[in-house]
Amino acid sequence: MTSPRVSVIVRTKDRADFLTRALASITAQTLDNWEAIIINDGGDPIRVAAVVSALRDSTDRARIRVIDHAESRGRWVAANAGVLAASGDYLVLHDDDDSWHPSFLSRAVEYLDRNPERQGVVSRIEIIWEQEKDGRFIEDGREEFQAQLTAPLLGDALLFNRFVPIGFLYRRDLHAELGLYDERLPVVGDWDFNLKVLSRGGLEYLGDEPLAYWHQRRLATGTSANSVSGARSDHARYDASIRDEALRRWVGDNGTGLVLYLTKFIDQRFVDVEDGLRAEIAASSLWRRLARRLRRTLKL
Amino acid in position 21 = R
Note the pTM of the prediction, 2 decimals: 0.85
Q: Which CATH class is domain 6-250?
A: alpha beta
The string over 144-157, giving b where at least 16 C-beta atoms fall within 10 Å of a residue's C-beta and e elsewhere, is: ebeeeeeebebebb
CA-wise closest residue to 161 among 125, 200, 113, 206: 125
Domain ranges in the chain? Answer: 6-250, 256-300
CA-wise closest residue to 6 among 88, 111, 79: 88
Per-residue pLDDT of the chain (300 residues; tens, 9 = 90+): 588 999 999 999 999 999 999 999 999 999 999 999 999 999 999 999 999 999 999 999 999 999 999 999 999 999 999 999 999 999 999 999 999 999 999 999 999 999 999 999 999 999 999 998 887 888 999 999 999 999 999 999 999 999 999 999 999 999 999 999 999 999 999 999 999 999 999 999 999 999 999 999 987 665 666 655 555 678 889 999 999 999 899 899 999 988 888 888 777 777 776 777 677 776 677 667 766 766 666 664
